[in-house]
Amino acid sequence: MKKKWSTISLVIGLLLALNGLPSHASEKQDVYRVSAYSPIDGGDIAGAQNSAVTAAKEKAISMALTRIVPEQTLTSLLPLLVERVIPKFDTFIANYKIINQDVSNRAYTVHVSVTVDLDLLRKYLTSLGVIKGPGSRPLAVVYVTLDVPAELDNVKNLGVLATEIVSKSLENSGVTVVPIQPDDEFGFRFIRPPQLSENLLTEGRHIGADLAAGIIFQMNNDANWDGNLASTPLKVSLQWADLATETMMKVNFSEAIVDLGSEDIRSSNKNLNRILSILADNLGSDIQASLGNLEITPIGHQLSIKGPISTPMYREFVYSLMSRLGEASDLIPSRFTRDGIEMKLWTTKSPEEVGTILDDLKLSGATIQWELRSGKFLLTLSSDGEEAKGVRELGEEVYFYKRLPVPGVENPEDLKKIQIVLWKEEEENGTFSRANMAPTGMGILGRIDPSRDHDLFRFEIPRGAVEIYVLVEQTGPNEVQPRVRMFDSSGKLIRDTKAKARGRNAYFSFPIDPAIQEIVLSVEDNLNRYTSMFPYVLTVGVKIAEKEDDESS
């Protein structure tokens, strides 16, 4: 890590003296000619080429940063840029071209022309708060003071743990925390006792932050301490400074018994973790109340799926991932090749949170393996052969309402009709390979819940079918806006129809290709915004061609 840090620092510090100055392609794009090399390890030339090209791309982004970010800001926020911008180089590169290359017995050297999208880079820097503008996050730094009866080496993990918890809470509150340099001797920003208000103001301004948070651990003089480090009574204080107004804000504090004799502070002090989390959440609430409701801006991640992937498996993966990521996320395919799919994911989730979701993601018919390399998620999907379920028997009367019924009051004017529905969907049927096997010609009860829910059903088309009828009828008023998508067995989209408005039914019919023997039908809310209080009833009908009577001679 230190080697990479030194390399990037050297690149940024000497950029203006190098001959790699950009040639302008447009107002929003710059073209940089850069060189890089990588040792050839064990004769792996392809691996060395990939490493060299990656290094060249990182160098191009480093050069682009000097055109956008002022020199003083670049220096003070270098840890943030190295951690949050440089690894995402592919997000900001429009294209690149290898001009020439040189392969020796020891190294692979490459000369590359890299086109950087400065507009995308500026927007991302603005969202982080490096550049100030609409939607910018405030920049914050976290400091720790350890005023405890022990040598610093024995309690260093206490400061690391506190910094991690407070930083995570600030990030969740819509604040960008500037990380420390990887080679810092403590693992956190340390202010020696006492931690005074002017310390936070001075140190925070030096970093170029908007906010400075201070964590203080000190002996509780009111408590009885017998000198045993395994049960040390400490007072934990949390305060923060608004550097724009140079004012100190509210101080939160709590008491904890901490085991300072243990090097593993995290596992031996679970109560301390809870106390720090509560204080950190209160700090985040204080900052939001003081600075207004801070909008958390989505950030971009690169996703790459290795190997061939079928259309149904791709749709299942996208639906499952987006359902877990939430409303403020978007997934945009950027390139389809024989070797896989490249995608850009925009979400408020951190890389660690995205990784946790990928670990927990369950796909029918596939297992997921992934790794994070150079800021890019590399995924492999492999089949696990799990079978789908069919719809289950219902056979009950279903009430269709033309207006919302009043609880406890039976009013015939509330009802539109009563229908016996024979079947009901079987969860989980939200993916292509888990689509419920279902019969045609009979009603199936389903519900859109949560808002991103997709209900998929698989129908066998009888021989001789010439036309299909589809009706999605809502049992309650003012519900979702039904959207119905129909696919053939290979995952090819045949039909995409939505109701005219929210609360309306979806109905359509169309001629069917005689070669199609099976269809998969998806029912969802058009904008994935609403859940349904009342269920819907899906009916799929099939018209069979009439056989002509043989004429007698």
Tens-place pLDDT, residues 538-547: 999 998 877 6
Higher pLDDT among residues 179 and 202, named by residue: 179
Assigned domain for 199 exists: yes
d(CA 523, CA 525): 7
DSSP annotation of 1: -
The C-alpha angle with vertex 184 and arms to 179 and 188, in degrees rounded to 5, equals: 55
Lowest mean pLDDT among 144-158, 174-188, 498-512: 144-158
Q: Which helix (H) or strand (E) holds 126?
A: helix 118-128
What is the Cα 200 distance to its own chain's centre? 33
pLDDT at 18 over 60: no
Assigned domain for 130 exists: no
Same domain, 11 and 67: yes
- Residue 327 confidence (pLDDT): 63
pLDDT at 496 over 70: yes
Assigned domain for 126 exists: no
Assigned domain for 411 exists: yes
Assigned domain for 445 exists: yes
pLDDT at 492 over 50: yes
Residues whose CB falls within 8 Å of the CB of residue 319, separated by 6 or more in sequence, listed in order: 430, 431, 452, 454
In the structure encoding, which two tokens stand for residue 26, read together?
A: 């447009």
Report residue 417's pLDDT band, with 50, 70 and 90 as the boundaries.
confident
Same domain, 167 and 224: yes
- Residue 291 confidence (pLDDT): 66
Lowest mean pLDDT among 3-17, 109-123, 273-287, 438-452: 3-17
Percent of the chain whose pLDDT exceeds 90: 11
Looking at residues 472-497, what average pLDDT do you find? 86
Which residue do the tokens 């190295």 mark?
82
Q: In CATH, what number is assigned to the domain containing residue 199?
A: 3.40.50.10070
Choose one of 329, 353, 382: the last residue of a domain: 382
- Residue 14 confidence (pLDDT): 38
Assigned domain for 128 exists: no
pLDDT at 89 over 70: yes
Same domain, 157 and 253: yes
Q: Which helix (H) or strand (E) holds 45?
A: helix 45-68
Same domain, 378 and 287: no
pLDDT at 7 over 60: no
Q: In CATH, what number is assigned to the domain containing residue 59?
A: 3.10.129
d(CA 239, CA 254): 12
Same domain, 64 and 159: no
**Residue-averaged pLDDT of the chain:** 80
Report residue 408's pLDDT band, with 50, 70 and 90 as the boundaries.
low
Residues whose CB falls within 8 Å of the CB of residue 17, separated by 6 or more in sequence, listed in order: none
CA–CA distance from 55 to each of 12, 43, 108, 297 (Å)? 13, 19, 12, 28
d(CA 87, CA 280): 28
- The four Cα atoms 78, 120, 211, 285 give a dihedral, to 10 degrees, of -140
Domain that holds residue 400: 392-544
At 129-148, the pLDDT tens digits run 888 877 678 899 999 988 87
Same domain, 280 and 303: no
Choose one of 358, 382, 406: the last residue of a domain: 382
- Helices 118-128 and 45-68 cross at an angle (nearest 10°) of 70
Q: In CATH, what number is assigned to the domain containing residue 421?
A: 2.60.120.380
pLDDT at 336 over 80: no
Burial 278-295 (b: 16+ CB within 10 A, else e): ebbbebbebbeeebeebe
pLDDT at 189 over 60: yes
Looking at residues 460-474, what average pLDDT do you find? 90
Same domain, 231 and 154: yes
Higher pLDDT among residues 505 and 134, named by residue: 505
- Residue 56 confidence (pLDDT): 92
pLDDT at 297 over 70: no
- Residue 240 confidence (pLDDT): 82
pLDDT at 59 over 70: yes
Same domain, 339 and 459: no
d(CA 477, CA 503): 6
pLDDT at 457 over 90: yes
Same domain, 440 and 511: yes
Same domain, 402 and 535: yes
Same domain, 416 and 484: yes
At 202-259, the pLDDT tens digits run 888 888 888 888 888 887 766 666 666 677 778 888 888 888 777 777 677 777 777 7
Assigned domain for 72 exists: yes
Domains contained in the chain, number: 4
Choose one of 248, 274, 291: the last residue of a domain: 291
Report residue 445's pLDDT band, with 50, 70 and 90 as the boundaries.
very high
Task: Quote the pTM value.
Answer: 0.53
Provide DSSP, 138-204: PEEEEEEEEESSS-HHHHHHHHHHHHHHHHHHHHHTT-EEPPPPTT-SSSSEE-PSS--HHHHHHHH
User: What stretches of 215-304 show up as alpha helix (H) in DSSP?
Assistant: 265-268, 270-291
- Residue 178 confidence (pLDDT): 92
Assigned domain for 494 exists: yes
Lowest mean pLDDT among 12-21, 267-276, 357-366, 378-387: 12-21
d(CA 13, CA 42): 33
Higher pLDDT among residues 309 and 23, named by residue: 309
pLDDT at 424 over 90: yes
Same domain, 360 and 488: no
pLDDT at 286 over 70: yes
In the structure encoding, which two tokens stand for residue 84, read together?
A: 């949050």
